[in-house]
Amino acid sequence: MEDENNLAEGWENCVGGDPDSHGKYNALGHVGYFWSSTIGRFDENKAWGINFYSAGIYSINKTDNENIHINADGIYVVCITGNTGDTGDTGDTGNTGESSWTDNETGYTWSEAVHWEMNRSDAINYCDNLTENGISNWRLPTISELRTLVINCPATETGGQCQVTDDCLESLCSDDSCSGCEWAGDGKYSKLNDTAWFWSSSEQSDNTGFGWGLNFFLAFVGDGGFHNPGSVRCIVAY
């Protein structure tokens, strides 16, 4: 989009793709309508935003919090820091190397999250080559290891009803219980407050080119094509 302000006002513009509740249209796994700071060119009472359920771009009244085109929970906000020009450079270089965390319940050490658009191959290579806090033997976690980070959603916590584990990687291992819980954007389903789709190293054993991952917006355990973008936390498990 060359200039957001040059779009005509109205819902008919930039409606996006087919609705998807798993965050496939957003690099951070976000779903729902998010405000931007861009004011409508022809009506200063309107502002632009994006509905990441469909990647639709809309202008609405700045005081609106309910609309048929917007998620029922209201309108969300994600903040930005750094360069706000058109280069796409936010000034965020990714992992700062200062946030490794050890889970006392499991003994696993986790790297800082990296919210880049990494496909599965890039995610594996990233962890294999990571050095953080003097640690260099990182790897991408398995789906069972990734599930140890889930809280407040019993079905997909470790030992929960969802049968997708390191011992059950076929597509048939997934059922409705793996869909997780009600959508939440506050990180309530993650020990580390994550809210995005994260890759695991576990492949779907009966479906070449697909791997398992976890969407922490829903505590949803699901599969994705190896080419799909996702976020990454690396693990050291002694």
The tens digit of pLDDT for each residue in 69-114 reads: 444 445 666 676 544 333 333 333 333 334 799 999 999 999 999 8
Which of 115 and 97 is assigned the larger pLDDT?
A: 115
216 and 122: one domain? Answer: yes
Question: Which domain, by its residues, includes 57?
Answer: 1-92
For the chain, give the percent of residues with pLDDT over 70: 69
Q: Supply the pTM of this predicted model.
A: 0.62
**Quick check: 210 pLDDT over 60?**
yes
Rounded to 5 degrees, φ, ψ at 30 are: -70, 145
**Quick check: 138 pLDDT over 60?**
yes
**Quick check: 40 pLDDT over 90?**
no
d(CA 223, CA 221): 7
Q: Which of 65, 92, 119 is the last residue of a domain?
A: 92
pLDDT at residue 79 in the model: 73
110 and 187: one domain? Answer: yes
pLDDT at residue 2 in the model: 40
d(CA 60, CA 209): 40
Q: Which of 31, 58, 92 is the last residue of a domain?
A: 92
pLDDT band for position 59 (50/70/90)?
low
